Structure 1
Amino acid sequence: MTQALPPRSQLSRLSAPDAFWWSTGIEDTFITAPHPVTGRTLDEYELTGHYDRWHEDLGLVAELGVPCARYGVPWHHIQPEPNTWDWTFPDETLERLLDLGVEPQVDLVHYGLPAWIENAFLHPDYPKLVAEYAGRLAERFRGRITWYTPLNEPRITSWYCGRLGWWPPFRRSWPGFVALMLAIAKGMVETVKALESVDPEIVPYFVDATDLFDTDDPAFEDEARRRQEVVFLALDLVSGRIDERHALWPWLLKNGAREADLAWFLDNAVALPVIGMNLYPMFTQKKLLRDAGGRFRIRMPYAGADLIIRLGRLYHERYRVPLMISETASMGSLRRRLNWLDASIAATRQLRQEGIPLVGYTWWPMFSLVTWAYRQGRRPVTEHLAEMGLWDIVPDESDPLRRVRTPAVDIYQQLVRGGIEAVGMLMEASSHAAALR
C-alpha cells in the first residue's frame, strides 16, 4: 500500500538542513494499579509534587530556553470514569507552556491507563478508547499543538505488562508480550488516525526505547539478533513493514500472532514522520552472557556515547526519517551527568556531520525522578529519588521535594542559545562545572 506523507509544512520543518530542537521533559510514568503487596501506585507527578508545583515547574522548563518540551498528560485524571471527562489539568498546563513560548510534545500514554479499563491494553475496546481520548485532546488544542506521542515506549510497555507481569494486565510470557505489542500498536495506529482527522498538521512523534544487543558467545548470536529485531517491532508494525519476509514473522506466529492480526497493520499502515530514540548509558547496552552455571543472562554495562552513533546509523538505515534523541541522561553525580551531556552531544553532532538527520536532543528528566522500585517497596519516596536531572530534588525540613538548581542548568542554557554546532566550546565549561561537585 502507499503510505500517506505528513503535511508538507511539517515535513519541511523536520527536513530543513538546519533543523534542530532542544527539549526537556518531566518524568510522567503513571501506573494506576496498586501493587498487590504494598498497595502503592506509581504516579510520578504525584510523587514528585508536580500536580501542586506545575506552574513553577513549567517555569523551569522555560528558563532553559528550549523551544519545545515533552510533557505527559494523565489520562487517568482526565477520564476517571468511562463517561466523565475533566480537562482542567491539561488545559492549565498546556496553556502555560504555550504562554511561555514552549511547544508541547504531548505524551498521551506513558505506561499506565485509567483503572476502569479492565484488562488494560488487552481490553477489546482499548484502540477505540485511546483514539477517542487522543482526538478529544487534539480538538481542544487544534491549530496550536501539533506534536503528539501516541504512546511512549511500546516495547517497554509490552515487556512490563506482558513478559514480566509487573503492570496490568500482568502477563508473564512471550505470547503475553506479543499480545500486548499487537494491542498497543493497534492503539497507536488508531490514535494517529484520530489525531490526523482533527488536524492534518499534527506530527505523530513515535518514541521507543532503543536497546543495543551484543554477545561474544556464538551460542547466543541468534538470540541477540532476534532481540535486536524486537527493538524495532512496534515501529515496524505501525508502519506496515511486517509480512512473510520479515525476520520476526515465524517468531510472531509461534507466539500467538495470527496472520490476520499482522495483515491488519499492512492495510492500516501510518507514516513515521519522526522517530524518538530513548537511550541511557546505564540501561541501553545489553550484553548476552553465560553465567557460571551455563545459563543465559543479560548484563547492562555502562556504555559510552558510541551507542548513540550505532543507534543513529541503525535507525537511519532502517527508516530513513528524521530522528530525535527523545530521552537521555546519566544517573548519579553532577560530574557523571555532565560528562554524559558532553559525550552525547558530541555524538549527536558527529551523526549530523555524517548526514544523518538527527534533529533534536532531550535531556530527560529535567529534575530527579522516583525510581519504579517505589511501587513495590516500603521506603519513603525521598529514598527513591534518582539524580538524573538538571535540577535535583533535595529534601529539607521545610520542603521534602525542593528543586535545587545545578550548574547543568547554565550549561544547557548555553547549548540551547549556541546551537548544536557550538557544542565544542562548552566542553571545557562543563568539565569545570563537574569538578565543582
Structure 2
Amino acid sequence: MKSFLTHIKDKFGDGHYEGDEHGGAGGNDGSGLPTGNTGNFMFATGIECSYPMIAGNTIRRDLLAETDHYNRYKEDLGLVKELGLKVLRYNLPYYLIHKAPGEYDWTFADLALAEIKRLGITPILDLLHFGVPDWLGNFQNPELPVHFAEYCGAVAKRYPWVRFYTPVNEVYVTARASAKDGIWNEQLKSDRAFVTALKHLAAASIMGNQQIARHRPDCVIVQSESAEYTHEMRAVESAEVHLQNKLRFLSLDLLYAHTIDAEVLLYCLDNGLTREELKWFMAGEPPGYQIMGNDYYGRNERIIKPDGSMCAAEDVLGWYTMTRQYYERYRKPVMHTETNTFSPTDAPCWLWKQWVNVLRIRQDGIPVVGFTWYSLLDQLDWDISLREKRLSVNPCGLFDLDRNIRPVGTDYRMLIEEFGQLTLMPHGEIFEFTNRPAQLKVER
C-alpha cells in the first residue's frame, strides 16, 4: 500500500502547496522589520526628556537641551526611522509649552510632531516628565490637576492624529524623588509631602486622560511606571522596607481604581489623603484603552545587607517576575516601557535578556504588546538621578551623543529584523486597535 504522502505528492507536488502560505507551515514566521500595521508588536525607543528643577529651584535640568535634541531633532528622528522602528516614546516639554493658563507656545512641538508624522512614526506622547512650568510651582500645588487637564486637552485638540499618550510618566518615581527623597522640584523629605505629590500627580493623570478622550475617544493610554523591589537580607523585615515594597503599587492603584492594601491605605489617610479624595479615585478607571507600562532597569532591584549597606540585585526577580506581579494585580495589557544599562559593553546582552523575558511571559499567556529600549541617545547624570548638573555621560543609548550607533543599537536592529512582524498577541492579526470609541466598563 502506498503512503498517503505518495498520493499527496502525486496530486499537489512536493511541498510549497498552494494556500499553505496563509498561516500554515509556509506562512510568515514573524520575521522582518515592522511594517507599521496596527497589528504589529510595538518595538520602540524613547528620547530622554526629563526636566525637573534641582538645587533649591535654581537649576532646570532639561535633557532635550543638554543632549542638543532641540537643534538636532530631525537628525534624531531620522535615526529612529533608520533603525526600522515605527514607535517612539516622545515628550513635549510641558514646562516650555504651557506658558500660563490658556497660553501655549507650540513652536517646537509643531516642528517635531510634523517630522514624526512625515516619517510615519507612531508617537506615544509623554506630557509630564518629572517637572512642571515655573508658574505652577511643584507637585504640592493642588491646582496641578486642573491646569494639566487643560494642557492635555489642548495637545489632543491641536494634534488630532495622535492616539497614544502617557499623560504622566512614572507617577510614583516623580512623587518619591520630589517629596520623599528630596532631590527634585519641591525637594521635600516627608511622608505627607510624598502622599500629597502622589495624589496630585495621579489626579492630574486621570483628569488629563479625560480631556484627551474628549478629542480622541479611542485614545490608547500607556501608563509608564517603574517596577521596583527591595530585598532586605535581615531575619526580621523592617516595617519601613515592608511598607516600601507595598507603596510601589500605590500610583497604579489610584489610577486604575484598584482596592488599596490596608496598611498602605492607613499610611495614606495618616498623611493627608482624605476619604472624599479616596472615593473620587475609586469611582472607576480612566477612559480610553489602557496599557500598563512597566519600566525595569537592573538597578530597580536592591539588596539591603544586615549592616544596612546596599548592593544591586538585577535579575533576582527580573522583569518577568515583577511584571507578572503587576499583571496579576491589574489584568491590563502590558508594555515593557523602559530599560537600559549604563555599561555599553553589557548593553547588547542586557537587551537580549530583556527580550527573552518578553517572549517567555508572552508564551505564558500574558499579553505584552510592546518593548522599549530607553533611550535613543546616551543620557547625562542619571547615575546620580540628575541631582547635580555634572553633565557626565551615561553611555546607555542606541546612539552616542555624536549620533554614532552603539553595539546595542546594532543588536536592536538585528532583533527587530528577526521579530519585527510579530503580532500584538499570537494570531493577533485577527484583531486590530479599532477606531471605535472605548465604551465598555468591564471587570474581566
**For the Cα contact (< 8 Å) 1:306–1:347, is it kept in 2?**
no
More helix by share: 1
How far apart, CA to CA, are the structure 2 residues paired with 1:303 and 1:378?
A: 27
CA-CA distance at 1:407 after TM superposition: 3.2
SS in 2 for 1:256: coil
- Structure 1 pair 174–374 and aligned structure 2 pair: CA distance change class (3 A): closer
Which of the numbers 341, 352, 357 marks the counterpart of 1:347? 357
Q: Which runs of 5+ in 2 are unaligned?
A: 1-36, 423-444
Instruction: Decide whether aligned partners of structure 1 residues 375 and 185 sit closer, same or farther in structure 2, where only a CA change above 3 A counts.
Output: closer
- Note the alpha carbon deviations across 1:213-262, whole angstroms, 9 max, x for none: 2223232165444222211111101211235x644111212222222221
Change (3 A) 1:153 1:55: same
Cα drift, residue 18 of structure 1: 7.0
Of 323, 339, 353, the residue aligned with 1:328 is 339
**Do structure 1's residue 337 and structure 2's residue 353 form an aligned pair?**
no
Q: Kindly report which structure 2 residues correspond to 1:163-182, keeping only aligned pairs within 5 A, or say none.
A: 163-182=180-199
Show CA shifts across 1:339-359 (max 9, x none): 101111111111111111111
Residue among 255, 265, 269 paired with 1:249: 265
CA distance in 2 between counterparts of 1:154 and 1:275 reads 13
TM alignment of 1:73-112, pairs within 5 A: 73-112=92-131
Q: Contact (CA 8 Å) 1:23, 1:363: kept in 2 or not?
A: yes
In structure 1, the residue matched to 2:148 is 130
Query: Aligned AA for 1:129?
Result: H
Q: Please, which runs of 5 or more residues in structure 1 have no aligned partner?
A: 1-15, 394-401, 423-437
Query: Structure 2 vs 1, CA of residues 306 and 173 (structure 1 numbering), >3 Å: closer, same or farther?
Result: closer
Q: Corresponding residue for 2:275?
A: 259
In structure 1, what is the Cα distance between the partners aligned to 2:215 and 2:164? Answer: 13
Residue 67 of structure 1 corresponds to: 86
Larger Cα Rg: Structure 1 or Structure 2?
2
Where does residue 419 of structure 1 map in the other structure?
A: 419
1:52 lines up with 2:62 in the alignment: no
**What CA distance in whole angstroms lies between the structure 2 residues aligned with 1:300 and 1:95?**
45
Bigger mean CA offset, 407-416 vs 95-104: 407-416
Q: TM-score, normalised by structure 2?
A: 0.81
Contact 1:305 1:343 in 2 (8 A): no
Match of 1:396 in 2: none
- Within the alignment, does 1:237 sit opposite 2:254 as a pair? yes
Cα separation, partners in 2 of 1:173 and 1:356, compared to 1, 3 Å: same
Query: How far apart are residue 403 of structure 1 and its match?
Result: 1.8
Q: Which residue of 1 aligns with 2:4?
A: none
| Aligned 8 A contact 1:345 1:420 in 2 | no
Deviation at 1:97, TM superposition (A): 1.1
SS at match of 2:365: coil
Shift of 1:330: 0.9
Residues 38-94 of structure 1: per-residue CA shift (max 9 Å, x gap): x43200011010111001111111111112110011012112334531111111111
Offset of residue 289 of structure 1: 3.3
Give the secondary-structure state (helix, strand or coil) at the position aligned to 2:139: helix
What is the CA–CA distance in structure 1 between the aligned matches of 2:258 and 2:385, rounded to whole Å?
A: 38
Does 1 or 2 have the higher relative contact order (CA < 8 Å, sep 6+)?
A: 2
Distance 1:235 1:82 in 2: 28
Over aligned residue pairs, what C-alpha RMSD do you find? 2.4
Q: CA deviation at 1:208?
A: 0.7
Find out whether 1:207 has 2:224 as its counterpart.
yes
Instruction: Tell me the equivalent position of 1:407.
Output: 407
Letter in 2 for 1:315: Y
Aligned counterpart in structure 2 of residue 270 of structure 1, from 286, 303, 326: 286
1:378 offset after TM fit, Å?
A: 6.1
Q: TM-score, normalised by structure 1?
A: 0.82
Identity %: 28
Show the counterpart of 2:14: none
Q: What amino acid maps onto 1:368 in structure 2? A: D
Number of residue pairs matched?
384
Structure 1 residues 53 and 286, CA gap change in structure 2 (3 angstroms): same
Q: Paired residue for 1:399?
A: none
**2:303·2:313 contact (CA, 8 Å) conserved in 1?**
no
Counterpart residue number, 1:8: none
Give the one of 356, 364, 371 matched to 1:361: 371
* Equivalent residues of 1:67, 1:102 under 8 A apart: yes
